[in-house]
Chain A
C-alpha cells in the first residue's frame, strides 16, 4: 500500500469526486464562476474531473454591475481559454425588471445577488449550482452540507438539511427545488492558496500587491472607485494593497500588502491574524448572524 495522499491531493480528489457526483446525479447543473480564487480552484478541479471531455455544465457569473474591470476581463479570458459556455446573469437586469429594488442608489448590491441568482436558476431550470464556498469562511457555513438542499424559494433551512454520511451525496430533487454543491467545503484559505501555487493557476491581477487610491473608513481600507467615492472630508491616500477576496466593489476591501507573488501571499496568509471575511467583507460585520440570515434568504 502506498503512502497516504498529501492533504492537497486528498482535498483535490474529494472535490473531483463531488463534482462527478453532481454530473452523475443532476440533469442540469451549473458552476458559479466569479473570477475569484475559490471559483478558479473549482475550474481546475472541473478540468481534472472531466477532461478530455467538455464540462457537463455551463459557467455562470452573477454580475452586480460593480466589478473591478480586471476581474471581468479575466473572467472572459479564462472562459475562452477553457472553451466552455458562460452565462452572465445581471443584477442590473433584475433592477430594470423591478425585482431588485435598492433602498438608495449607492446601497451595496451584494445581498441582492440572491434574487438574480434565483431568477437565473428558475429561467434556466438548473437543478444544481456548484459553488466555491468553504466551511472555514464563516460560522454559519461550518454546518453547511456538501450537497445543500434549497426549497422552491431557494431557501436554506438549517433545520431541514439532509444528513450527509460517508461519501454518499444525495442530490435528488423535485422540479423547482435545487442543490447547492460545495466541492471545496473542506478547504481552508491556506489550502486554496497552496493549491493555486501547486497548480500554477493564473489569478486576476488585483489579488497581487498594487498601488491604489484608497481612504481609511471605520478601520477598513476603502478603494476609491466611481461607485465608492470619498466623502468631502476624507483624505485620499495611495497605498500598496491587494485583495483577499473579489466581489462587488462596494463591499470588498483590500488589505495593505506588498505580496506580489503567490509565494509571498502564502507567507502573509500564514502570519495573518484576521479572518478573510472579517478583514475584507464589509457586509459580514453588520451583525454576528448576518451570513446565516442571508443564506436563509437564498444567498450562496
Chain B
C-alpha cells in the first residue's frame, strides 16, 4: 500500500499451478514482500497458521478465499488480487490448476497479458505443466514465465534447474509455443524462503537473471499485435433529446471502447455491418473533447452524417475490407456442467453483438493430457474442441490470433442465460 504514483501502467497476469507447486505461497510471497498485506490480515493468518499447527507463517493462506474452499483446502474459482509497485499496478488472476478446472484457467488467461507457470523442482515437468502451457498458447498469452519453484528442496542445484529448462524448451518447440512473438523466461526460486521473488536471497547466486518482480516490472506490455486497425464496437447510443438545450436537441453520439487501433477527428469511417460511411466530427471522453483516442479508451464519438447506428454495430476505418461473417471455425472451451449438444441452438455474444448460433460440426476435441485430437459428438465441462458455427446474424469478427478482442466470444445458453462456453475464432469463412 506504499505506492502513491499516479501513472502506473496496468499489467494483468495469471498464475498456473496447483497448491502442491506452491502457487498460493508464491502469490502470498509477492504480496507479502511488496508490503501489500496489512497487519489485520497478517494477524488472522498467524492465528490460522497456529490453529493448523504450523510453526512459520503460512503465506498460502493469504489467497484462500471462500469458506467452502478453506474447508476443502482447494481453490475452486478464479480469484483476483492486486498490488502496486510505483511502476505498475498488477492484477493477478489466481486460477486453480486441477485437471477438472480447465475452464478456470481459460477464464483467468482470457484477461491476462502474462502467465507464470509453476513447476515443482523436485518433480520437473508434469502433465499439468504441459496442459497449462497448451492453454496459455490457446488463449494467446505472449509472455510466459516458467517459475521453477521449491529450489530449496533440491539444494538449489543448478543442474536440476537447467535440466527442467531444457525439457521445457523442447516441449515448447513441440507444441509451437516458442514463436517469435512469444517471450519465455525461466526463473529458479523458492517462494517459501522468498528467493528470487522480490529479493534475490543468498542461495541462488549462480543464477544471474532477473528476479520474478524485476521481470514483471520490465516486461514490454504493449501487445505486439499485427492488427492495429480500428475496432470500435458501439455499446450505447447517446440521444439526449433535451428540449431545454438548443445544442443538444439533435445531438447523437456513439459510445464504446476502442478495442484496437487509433481514431482521430476527421477520420473517414465505415459502419459495419451496414457499410454506411461518414467521418468523425468529435471525440469525447466524458465531456472533454479530444482530437484522437487510442485502444482501451472508452469514448463518445459523433459523426458528420446522420446515419443509422445502433448497439452491436462496429466502427472501422473507411478503407478496411472487413465484413460481417455468418459462419466461422473456432476453438471452444466448454464451461458448463451440462453438455454441448450439436442439435441445440445457442446464443453467441461477440463484442456488443448477440446472435443465435448453430453448431455446424464438431471437427475434433483436444485431449488435454496428450494434446492429441479426438473424435467427439458432444462436449463436457472443460473440453476443448474445434467447432464450425453457423450464425443467424452476421458478426464483425477477426481471427483471434490477430485481435483478441474481436476474435473472442462467449456462448450463452438460450434457456438459462448462463455462460456455457468460450470461443476463439480460428478461421473466417
A249 adjacent to chain B (CB < 8 Å)? no
CB-CB contacts below 8 Å: B25-62 with A: 38-41, 44, 48
Would B38 and A24 count as touching, CB distance under 8 A? no
CB-CB contacts below 8 Å: A21-59 with B: 21, 23-24, 47-54, 56
CB-CB contacts below 8 Å: B111-155 with A: 111
Q: Give Cα A110–Cα B228 distance, bound, in whole angstroms.
A: 49
Q: Give Cα A151–Cα B126 distance, bound, in whole angstroms.
A: 40
Q: Across the interface, which residues of A come within 8 angstroms of B8, CB to CB?
A: 6-7
A88 adjacent to chain B (CB < 8 Å)? no
Q: Across the interface, which residues of B come within 8 angstroms of A14, CB to CB?
A: 298
Given contacts A16-B298, A142-B80, A166-B111, contact A53 B349 (CB under 8 A): no
B3 adjacent to chain A (CB < 8 Å)? yes
Q: Give Cα A255–Cα B328 distance, bound, in whole angstroms.
A: 58
Contacting A1 at CB < 8 Å: which of B294, B311, B417, B422? B294
B77 adjacent to chain A (CB < 8 Å)? yes
Task: Please tell me the size bucket of the interface on B.
Answer: 35 or more
A191 adjacent to chain B (CB < 8 Å)? yes
Contacting A139 at CB < 8 Å: which of B65, B228, B418, B419? B65
Would B4 and A166 count as touching, CB distance under 8 A? no
Given contacts A51-B287, A163-B103, contact A158 B77 (CB under 8 A): yes
Contacting B77 at CB < 8 Å: which of A161, A267, A279? A161
Q: Give Cα A47–Cα B412 distance, bound, in whole angstroms.
A: 31
With an 8 Å Cβ cutoff, the count of chain A residues facing the other chain is 72
Would B238 and A50 count as touching, CB distance under 8 A? yes
B238 to chain A, nearest CB (A): 4
Q: Across the interface, which residues of A come within 8 angstroms of B256, CB to CB?
A: 17, 20
Q: Across the interface, which residues of B come within 8 angstroms of A273, CB to CB?
A: 38-39
Would A142 and B311 count as touching, CB distance under 8 A? no
| 7 residue pairs from A and B, CB less than 8 Å apart | A6-B9, A10-B9, A16-B298, A24-B311, A52-B238, A166-B111, A288-B48
- 8 new A-B pairs (CB below 8 Å) besides A158-B66, A162-B418, A271-B1? A17-B298, A24-B311, A139-B64, A142-B81, A168-B409, A170-B417, A173-B417, A270-B3
What residues of chain B have their CB less than 8 Å away from a CB belonging to chain A?
1-4, 6-10, 38-41, 44, 48, 64-68, 70, 76-82, 84, 88-89, 91, 103-104, 106-107, 110-111, 221-222, 228, 235-236, 238-240, 242, 248, 251, 255-257, 262, 285-287, 294, 296-298, 311, 335, 349-352, 404-405, 408-410, 412, 417-419, 422
What residues of chain A have their CB less than 8 Å away from a CB belonging to chain B?
1-2, 4-14, 16-17, 20-21, 23-24, 47-54, 56, 135-136, 139-140, 142-143, 149, 158-159, 161-168, 170, 172-174, 185-186, 188-191, 194, 198, 266-267, 269-275, 278-279, 288-289, 292-293
